[in-house]
Amino acid sequence: MEAYLGIAVLGIIIIFFSFAIISGKRHAKAMKALSQAIGFSYTPSVDDDEVFLQQFSRLPLFSRGSTRDVWNIMRGRVQDFEVTIMEFRYGSNSSSTKSTRSTSTQTVIIIKSNDLDLPSFSLTPHNTSDKIATNFLSAVMPLVKKLMPQDINFDSYPLFSEFYLLQGTRKNEEAIRKLFNRDVIRYYEIHRGLCTEGAGNTIMCHVLGKELSPEDIPPLLDQTIEVCNMFQRAGDSTLTT
């Protein structure tokens, strides 16, 4: 009986992985077709993921986890923007077993623009457990609070601060506060769930932990361009105030 049960379990595992492989190939084929439709180049994978990601090293997402992978990379230009669309996965490993205990996969869209000059920041939806852990560490280990990225809140916009975790450093907090003006904050109050990171001439949008289907990528690309233009205007306004 146990032997039959073992064979059945093995069969289910084989079917699962076979389906995953077939599904992955179909997805890659659809991503390649999308790249051709929008006039972008397509690269299924890279030889060294870490080396490839160094060009985006100032974006906090790409320092998460202990393992990082990229694939289905599309690159091209839209208007005057240099655009990269790719799928990114990071994993956290157990220090005792060295085995991956959790992973997060998301489709990210990165724009580089010569008209951007952003302070380094990360904007993500608030995670209640992360917030509790941060508050606890800050209370019992004050030194840790000084080393952690600054959580920037706005008393005048409690809804924004409730839904979003805006992080930077103590050094660039004032610049981030100026950048996140009324229009920017209201935009994110409407578009809850959109993650955005910026640094220098680069900005990135994604939905944390969400791998998009090819048909969902063009709307996110349009939104990322919209966000890029919004931050360009916000940056220009800080120069005149």
Please write the tens of the pLDDT for every residue from 36-87. Answer: 999 999 999 999 999 999 999 999 999 998 899 999 999 999 999 999 999 9
User: Where residue 23 falls among pLDDT bands split at 50, 70, 90?
Assistant: low
Q: What's the mean pLDDT when you consider all of the chain?
A: 83
Distance, CA of 172 to CA of 159 (rounded, Å): 23
Report how far residue 38's alpha carbon sits from residue 128's, in angstroms, rounded to the nearest whole number.
Answer: 38
Confidence of residue 16 (pLDDT cuts 50, 70, 90): very low
Give the model confidence (pLDDT) of 176-224 as tens digits.
Answer: 999 999 999 999 999 999 999 999 999 999 998 999 999 999 999 999 9
CA distances from 187 to 156, 177, 192, 204 (A): 15, 15, 9, 16
Q: pLDDT class for 99, splitting at 50, 70, 90?
A: low
pLDDT at position 169: 86
Q: What is the pLDDT of residue 72?
A: 97
Mean pLDDT of 129-152: 49
Pairwise CA distance, residues 193 & 59, whole Å? 18
Residue 5: phi, psi to the nearest 5? -65, -40
Calpha distance 73→106 (Å, rounded): 13
pLDDT at 43 (0 to 100): 97
